[in-house]
Amino acid sequence: MGTVDKTPGEESFATLSKEAVASLAADFAGEVVRPSDPTYDDAREIWNGMIDRYPAVVARCSGVADVVAAVNFAREEGLEVAVRGGGHNVAGTAVNDGGLVVDLSEMTAVRVDREAGTVRAEGGATLGDVDRETQLFGLATALGAVSQTGIAGLTLNGGYGHLSREYGLALDNLVSVDVVTADGRVRTASDERNPDLFWGLRGGGGALGIVTSFEYELHEVGPEVSAFFPWFRADDAPAVMARYREWIADAPRNAGVLAFTAHVPDLEEFPEESWGEPAIGMLGSSRGDPADADEVFGSLLESAEPLVDLSGEMAYVDLQSMLDEDYPDGLRYYWKAIYLEEYTDEVVDLMLEHTESAPSALSTIDLWHLDGTVADVPRDATAFWHRDKPHMLTVEANWEDPDADDANLEWARAVIAKAEALSVASGRYGNFPGLEAEPARLRYGDNYGRMVELKTEYDPENLFRLPGNVEPRADG
């Protein structure tokens, strides 16, 4: 008689106490999904099509009480915990093999407090959920640049976006959070309450607990902004990037521009003869008087004749969602980042050379200009360390064919390896970690020691053990 191979989820589930599983399900307001349930495959599927993992249980939470119940169950049953928010999670850590997934994706409520100038959003909300509510009042908080991104992972690991140079990282805009720690307690963390925990959550990723709601400071933004989105031929890159270097030297804080290399998409907005060709582009925005946009960005357009210029006035919510279609569910993704003390000609050469050799025309190499308000905050003010770096180079390998996994992974890792060898390169960014577990010190720098102390205090058994996260001291 033959045997049927079991998935890691089935094997782990078989070892769990039936009474404990029944008790969890009975008291759960959301949905407890088991490997035998018809919704299991949907529950374990995430945005990155590369990730194919089999948890023992998926706890689809409807509120904080469900999160507490799930954390207590995982701790008592000895299950590794993964946390799923509302968005991308490119590294795939939102699901695991044989553990428990705490799924917050149904917890999406957003409430604006106009009098206090804040917005509170649940842990499963996306940028689009937040922007939709805040823009009713011409307000926004500093988040990312793709509306389908989840606020949780983005914020806990940093959070760069269109507003960063003016208002800081997403985590810099936090006023308070509600968090469920490994002992199952619900805590509020802010500058006044549990300030040490608040320090560690801002940059610590998911190492210290599950944040169920985020309260952010709001700023007057929109509803209209000036978008900047020209594309240039690759041959014009030296002139374009030379002018870009001049522009960032005194760029106003209410404006920002990201430079990127890519292949021209097969879209009618672009000349057909350029489709598939390597190119260099810029994506940015400014939030001053629309009449001043030409003055803000004009010098960048004088460097060369654009292949196409998609710049113009648009609603802030449209700016935030204009890249959504470039990152569809189920595509295969591998993203990695490294910080730069400055960007040199070697960096530009690297971007052009490796874009030319990319196995997928959907991949890009991006050069983020940071600086501004991000750098004003002392590096030891939060767990997030790399504030002093004015640039970040990110490699986005995006492809469709599963048979091309190895080629695309090798390409992206080669780009990062070459960048890492540059004298101006250092550190890592928690939101673009690749798939590898790398030393936590690369993320935390001199904040590493304090993070170890906090991890040892709040999660001594390492219930929240993400790849590359700080670990508690073995001696407790």
Distance CA 425, CA 343 (A): 9
Do 201 and 240 share a structural domain?
A: no
Do 260 and 343 share a structural domain?
A: yes
Do 185 and 68 share a structural domain?
A: no
| Res. 436 pLDDT band, cuts 50 70 90 | confident
Q: Is residue 371 a part of any domain in this protein? A: yes
Q: Is 315 helix (H, G, I), strand (E, B) or coil?
A: strand
CA terminus-to-terminus distance, the chain: 49
Residue 36, pLDDT > 50, answer yes
Q: In sequence order, which ranges of 6-141 are alpha helices (DSSP H)?
A: 8-14, 18-27, 40-44, 64-77, 127-134
- The contacts of residue 239 (CB under 8 Å, 6+ apart) are 303, 304
Q: Is residue 245 a part of any domain in this protein? A: yes
Q: Is residue 17 a part of any domain in this protein? A: no
Do 422 and 319 share a structural domain?
A: yes
Q: In sequence order, which ranges of 28-101 are alpha helices (DSSP H)?
A: 40-44, 64-77
- The pLDDT value recorded for residue 227 is 93
Do 392 and 352 share a structural domain?
A: yes
Residue 44, pLDDT > 70, answer yes
- The pLDDT value recorded for residue 1 is 40
Q: Is residue 67 a part of any domain in this protein? A: yes
pLDDT in tens, 321-363: 999 999 999 999 999 999 999 889 999 999 999 999 999 999 9
Q: 263 forms bridges with which residues in the sheet?
A: 278
- The pLDDT value recorded for residue 476 is 61
pLDDT in tens, 383-421: 999 999 999 999 999 999 999 999 999 999 999 999 999
Other C-beta atoms closer than 10 Å to the C-beta of 131 total 25
CATH of residue 339's domain is 3.40.462.20
The residue behind tokens 């991006």 is 366
With DSSP H G I counted as helix, E B as strand and the rest as coil, what are the percentages for the chain, rounded to 5? 35, 25, 45
What global pTM score does this model have?
0.94
* Contact call for residues 47 and 153 (beta carbons, < 8 A): no
User: What is the residue range of 324's domain?
Assistant: 224-426
